[in-house]
Amino acid sequence: MTATRFLFVIGTGRCGSTLLAEILAAHPEIGWISRFPRHLARVARALPVAPHPIEAYGLLEQQVSPMLVDPCRDLTAEDAAPWLERRLRRFFETHAQDEARPVFMHKFTGWPRARLVAAVFPDAKFVHVYRDGRSVANSYLQVPWWRGYRGVPQWSFGDLSEQERREWEATDHSWTYLAGLEWKRLMGSFEAARAEIGPQRWLISWPGRRKRRPQSCALQASSPGTDSTQRCHASGSRRGGRTHTAMSCGRRTSPSWSPCSPRPSHAGATRQARISLLRDDDPARLRSGASTVPHV
């Protein structure tokens, strides 16, 4: 029996990672955790209102550790104590076995946690969903779960440096500044994780950015070391509680990525997503080297 391959979708939050996870979850060969009990999860996929993948922080807190849920810093390979590694491996392998799919996907937002996960699952691949920090900070201010309004001691991202504190005070304790600082800290952790894990296992997805016609499906890697640029364009819509997707690769729509053919829907009922999966042309602001698209 072929071992399950693990794919982790990660992002700062408010970046498009949820929609990307739902698009990937529509693929028949990808398994994931839903809100349904384990023994009903596979059956629930056939229901008129299909379940959606969740981050399952409640389950992680109970079965692994609260450390995975709301840490004050990013988790690294040094945090992979034997007991934590054993619990984390058992958690994901059990759910992957229940799903019985070639690929098992899970999504984390906030701190990437990628270096810890990579230490436990050496063959896991990561898709980092990147969004401009100004848009992310603006979105933070509008969601009910953002903790920045409580101030620095309770915002879950550690203390401010002296320079950061002076700048925050100079803005009269601006919430916008604090939201931007949160994005900046998270992006620093993502860059550090990518540098440590390596570009072979790290793919960057940039929602809304598409400059050239896609050439091939980004989740199908060509030979390592090539200089060609590959992009994949995904269109997604929600209809009747179910996510419908189509992946455009070159001049055709890949049939393996089209479990449901989207139909025109009424105005306001459809949410379109454009997801550019970048290769070898990452934005300069990420200050990282060339990447190779991982073969999931």
Name the residue type at position 94: T
Q: How far apart are CA 233 and CA 170, in angstroms?
A: 42
Instruction: Give the sheet arrangement for strand 242-249, strand by strand.
Output: 30-31, 103-109, 5-11, 125-129, 202-207, 275-278, 233-239, 242-249, 252-253
8 A C-beta contact, residue 3 and residue 101: no
Domain ranges within the chain, ordered by starting residue: 5-286
Q: How far apart are CA 27 and CA 16, in angstroms?
A: 18
Q: Is the dihedral of CA 213, 216, 219, 223 positive or negative?
A: negative
141, exposed or middle or buried, with CB in 10 Å at 0-12, 13-18, 19+? middle
Divide the 296 residues of the chain into consecutive groups of 10 and give the mean pLDDT of each group. Answer: 90 96 94 74 58 92 96 96 98 94 97 98 98 97 95 88 95 95 97 97 83 39 35 43 40 33 36 33 40 40
Which residue has 């709301």 as its token pair?
Answer: 70
CB atoms within 10 A of CB 273: 20
Return the pLDDT at 156: 85
H runs (alpha helix) in the chain: 17-25, 38-44, 57-63, 82-99, 114-120, 133-140, 162-170, 175-197
8 A C-beta contact, residue 182 and residue 140: yes
Return the pLDDT at 248: 36
CB atoms within 10 A of CB 27: 20
User: Which three-class secondary structure state does DSSP give residue 47?
Assistant: coil
User: Which three-class secondary structure state does DSSP give residue 18?
Assistant: helix
Single pTM value for the model = 0.71
Which residues have CB under 8 Å from 44's CB, separation 6+?
A: 34, 36, 50, 51
For 253, the enclosing helix (H) or strand (E) is: strand 252-253
